[in-house]
Structure 1
Amino acid sequence: MEMQQPLNGGRDHGKIERDVTSPIPDPEMTRPGRRGCNPFRAFVIMLRSSSSLGACTNVLLPFVPVGLLLHWWKPDLHLWIFLTNYLAMIPMANLLAFSSAQFSRRLPRVLGVIIQLTFASSVEVILCLVLLFKSQFQVIQAALLGSMLANLLLCTGLCFIVGGIRTKAQEFSETVVETGGGLLLVSVASLMLPCAFFESVSAMGRLPQDELDHKVLHISRFSAVLLLIAYVTYLFFQLATHHSEFDQALYESEQRNKDRADNIRRENLTIGEAAFLTFMSLAFVTLHAVFLVEQIHWIVSHKHVSDAFMGLILVPLVEKAAEHLKGIDEAWDDAMDFALSHLLGSTIQTALLVSPIIVLVGWAAHKPFNLNFEVFMVIALVFSVLIVGNFIKDRKSNYLEGALCVIFYIMIAVTTWYYPSPEGMEEEH
C-alpha cells in the first residue's frame, strides 16, 4: 500500500525502497482515526483479536467469571476451580497480546516485536512469581524449561506444518536465523551449568548436601546477573547497532503477509483503549494465575499428576497460548520471519530475562530458588535446540520438519507423564 503524501523531507515511506531503519509506524496507524477511550467499542474491536486463531479463544471468555465465582463461592471444588481458571487464562492472555500489538504498531518493527514479547512474557512472570511465593520451586523449574520446549517444538512445529500446507517451502531471513539460533544455544548452555556442577560434585561426594545446595544457589544467582547482562546486550544489538538488518528482514516478511491488506482495513484501538485493555487483562491474568496455582497442591496429591508434568506441559501451554496462536497465524500468512522472531525471541526471553528475574526476586524475598534443573528436562531441552537449529540452518522449512518437531514434543510429554515427583513432594503437598 503506497502512502499518497510523502513524509520526512519528501521520502515516501509507503514504497519498498524507503529507509527501513526509520521509526515508521504501521500504515494502518497513519490514517485519521478515533481518539479517547470508548470501552464498549474497544470490546467490540477486541473480539476480532489480532489473529484469526486468537479470535477463536474468545469462546472461552465465559470461563473468566465462572473461574472467579467458583474460587470465591465453592472453594472445595478444587478440580473445577483449576480447570476453569486454566481455561480463563487463555482468552485473557490473548487480550493482553492483542492490546500490546496495538501499541507496537505505533513503534519501529523491531522494537514492536520486543514489546509484544515482553507483554507475552508478563503472563509467564506472573505465574512463576505466584509459584515462587507458594514455594513451588519444582513446578517453576519445569515451567521455565517447558515454556522453551513448547516454543521450540510444539509451536515451531505447528508453524512449519501450517505454513507447509499453504506453501511448499517457506524461507526466512539469515539475520533472524543466525542471531536467534546462536543466542538460543548459548542461553540453554548457560542454564545447564548449575545442573552440571551439581551432578558432577554430587557424584564425587566431596561436599555435604547442604553445602552443595548452598554453592549451587550462589552459582545460580551469579548466573542470573550475567544472563540479564546478556539480555541487555542482545537488546542493544537488535535495537541499536544492527537495527537496520532486523528491520529489513521484518519489512520483507510483512510485504509477503497474505492478510496485510485486510489488516490495514481493520479498525484499531486508540492509545487510551489499548492501555485500558492492557491493565484490565493483566489484572485478570494475575487473578486467574493465583487461583490456578492455589489448586496445584490438590491436583498433584489427589489426581496423581506429577510436578514435572504440571510444570513442563500444562502450565506452559496456557501461559503463552496467545503467542503460539499468533505465530501459527503468521506462518499461515507466509510471514515466517515474524513467526520465528516471536518464537525464538520468546524462548530467548524466557532464558535470559524471565529465569534471572525469578532467581533474583527469590533472592530478595529469601526464597532459595536456583537453576539446578532436573537432568531429564535439561537433556530434553538440549536435544530440542539441536533439532530445531538443524532444521532452520538452511533458512527453509516444510511440513515434514514441523511434524517431526511435534512428534518429539509429544514423546517428551508422554515421558513426563510417568516422571515421578521428587521424594516426599506429594506428602508435602
Structure 2
Amino acid sequence: MLPVSVSQPSALTTPKPINNQIQPKPVPQVVNQGQGSWFTIKVNPGDTLSTIFSRHGLGVSKLYSLINSGPEGKSLADIRPGQSLEVYTFKGKLEKVRFVRNKLESILFTATTDSYHAEKIKLKPNVRAKVVSGKINHSLFLAGRKAGLSHKMTMQLANIFAWDVDFALDIRKGDSFKVVYEEKYLEGEKIGEGNILAAEFNNRGEAFTAINYTDSDGANDFYSPEGRSMRKAFIRTPVEFSRISSRFSLGRKHPVLNRIRAHKGVDYAAPRGTPIRAAGKGKVIFAGRKGGYGKVVILQHGEQYSTLYAHMNRIGKGIRVGLRVKQGDVIGAVGSTGLATGPHLHYEFRVSGVHKDPLKVKLPKAMPIARKELANFKQQAKSMLSLLKNAENTAIALKQE
C-alpha cells in the first residue's frame, strides 16, 4: 500500500471556559456526606434495572417508585451498557440517583415523601475550531486518518463535495484537502466532534470550497464563497459501487444478446443487496418488472428530468407509483434481474426524454443562498476562508453551546 503524505494538523492550545462560566463538576465515585455516600454503578452488557438494584441491595420497591415517578423515570428503561448510575444512600435509604446518559446529559432523581423528583442536567461544552490538511497518495480515507480526521468526519467531507467530485473515479494522487471543524471540550477534556464549518478540496488541479451556513429560519447547508449551493439537484452516483462495468455507448455489444445494441446508461457493479438511492427529489412513475431491465424503478423529477434504475434484486419497501421521494432515499437494492450477467445497477438519466451520459451530463444546481442572507453569509465566509488560508497555525474558540 502506498504511503500517505499529509501536512501536520494545526496545534491547538488547551481550551478554556468561555465568558468565565464554570461548568458543574460531575459527582465523584465516592463522596462521604456524614453517614451517607455516593457510589457509581457501571452498566454492563445484559444488565437491567432490576438486576442492578438487586445486586446492590437497593430494594425493588424503590425501583418501582423511581420508574413510576414520571416520564424521566420511565426513561431509565432505556439504560445501556457503558452508561452509569451514581447512587447516594443515607442511613441505608436510597436518597438520590443520577442517571448519566453521556458526558453532557444526566437526570438527577431526589427522594420525596412518597416518590422521586427528577431534574434534567445538561452541561454545555466549549466549542473550538480545529483545522487540518492532507494530501492524497492512495485514498481519501487513509489521508483523512493520517491527518487526524475520524471516519465520520471524512464521510462528512466526502458528502459535501459529492456533487462535484466522484470519490470512486475522480480521485488522483496529489489531490489535497483542508477542513475546519468543531471540537467539543468539557473541563479541558475533548469529548467529541461537531460539524464541518468550512472545507476545501483540490481535485485534478481544480479547487472547490464550501462554507457551512445556517440561515435565519434555521435551515443549514453548504455554499460556495459566492453563495452558490454546493448541493446539486442530482447526485452523480446513486450507489456505492466497486467498478463501472459498462459505460454509456451507442455502439456497445450486448453481453447477453451478443449483438450491437445501444447502451443508454451506466452499469455500476456492486455486491447484491447494495442499497440504491434516489439521485434526486422526485415522484415514482414506475415500479415493477420491465422486460430485459428486470425489476425497475423510474423517477420523474419535475417536467424535464427522469432517472431509471434497473436489474434490482428487490424494489424498496413502500416504493410504489405516485410516491414522492427525497434525494438519497433508498428505493431498492442491487441485483441481476432481467438480462444481466451479474449483480449491478443499470442507471439512466434523461432530459426531456432524451438519454444523456450520467457521467458527463451537466447537473442542474440547487437554489443559491437567499438574497436577505447574503450579507451575513459573506461575513461568516470571510472568517472561514481566513481559517482555511492559515490552516497550519490557526486555533480559535468559537462558542459555548
Give the TM-score of the pair, scaled to structure 2: 0.22
Give the structure with the higher percent helix.
1
Give TM-score scaled by structure 1 length: 0.21
Q: Which has the higher strand share?
A: 2
Task: Tell me which of the two structures has the higher relative contact order, counting C-alpha pairs closer than 8 angstroms and 6 or more residues apart.
Answer: 1
